[in-house]
Copies of this chain bind each other. A is one copy, B any other.
Amino acid sequence: MVNDPMSLSHKFLPDCLEIRVVLFTIHQGHLQVLLVSNQENGWQLPGGKILANLSLEKTAADCVRKITGERQTYLEQLYTYGDVSNDKETRLISIIYFALIPDATIPQTIDGFEHKWFPVSTFPVIEPAQAEVIPYALRRLRYKIEYSAVGFELLPAVFTLTDLQHTYEIILGESLDKRNFRRRILEAGVIEPTSARKQGEGRPAQLFRYRPDAVAEVKARRLFP
């Protein structure tokens, strides 16, 4: 179903256009962003050329799929950069997407390039336009988590309320009240209990799943403080 980007039969659009993806996950208790090492140019956002026969969104989705395997991901367009280069003769237009995936191990190298997670607070020096877009993506994520259901995209299919609360706390960078959090998330009706429980230290926790039939944009303006 997905076209192979390497197939000879596909035309590329001019070199002045590319897709980049700001890919977030929660890993080791921190929100992290994926960067790719391209020897001569240092670290960069993952991305690639735009194929003439593939929509922008599909191109970005393929880019993420290549990194994560066949996993479904949350994806939205973030911004299009098109700064004029110094020589005033060439320019590169980058259409930047924003993606979220649950914590997962990813291959260390893909197509010979090193891939690595970096905490959003401390990522290495990268191209200025790309460095600028990461905090913007984070702002959008923080903003969005309050009035929509994107938080679930960072969790596995089933999760405990405590897991979910931790996710929110990591993204928002503040701690939340357990009782208020639970009341609101349950009242919003976006998750439902499964029959399973999670065993571990202490009392076993009810496992929940996201209700895919729930409206994408939660009615409440602000789901969490």
> Most chain-B CB neighbours within 10 Å: which of A11, A52, A82?
A82
Say how many copies of this protein the assembly contains: 2
A65 on the interface (CB 8 Å rule)?
no
A178 on the interface (CB 8 Å rule)?
no
| Contact mask for chain A residues 84-108; partner B; CB cutoff 8 A; 1 contact, 0 none | 1000111101010000000000000
**Chain B hits for A93, CB < 8 A:** 13, 17, 50, 56, 95
Q: Please report which residues of chain A, range 126-150, place their CB below 8 angstroms from some CB of chain B when the two chains form the complex.
A: none
A52 to B90, CA, bound (A): 7
A121 on the interface (CB 8 Å rule)?
no
Q: Please report which residues of chain A, range 69-123, place their CB below 8 angstroms from some CB of chain B when the two chains form the complex.
A: 77, 79-84, 88-91, 93, 95
A203 on the interface (CB 8 Å rule)?
no
Q: Which residue of B lies closest to A83 (CB)?
A: B55
A80-B56 contact given A13-B16, A91-B13, A222-B221, CB 8 Å threshold: yes
A14 to B54, CA, bound (A): 18
CB distance from A201 to the nearest CB of B (A): 38
Contact A82 B16 (CB under 8 A): no
Contact of A52 among B17, B80, B91, B222 (CB under 8 A): B91
| Contact mask for chain A residues 38-81; partner B; CB cutoff 8 A; 1 contact, 0 none | 00000000000010111110000000000000000000010111
Q: Which residue of B lies closest to A146 (CB)?
A: B221
CB distance from A8 to the nearest CB of B (A): 15
A55 to B85, CA, bound (A): 10
Pick 18 A–B contacts, CB within 8 A, sort by A.
A13-B14, A13-B93, A14-B14, A16-B17, A17-B17, A17-B93, A50-B82, A50-B93, A52-B88, A53-B84, A53-B88, A53-B89, A55-B82, A55-B83, A56-B82, A77-B79, A80-B80, A82-B95
Which residues on A are within 8 Å of B, measured CB to CB? 11, 13-14, 16-17, 50, 52-56, 77, 79-84, 88-91, 93, 95, 221-222
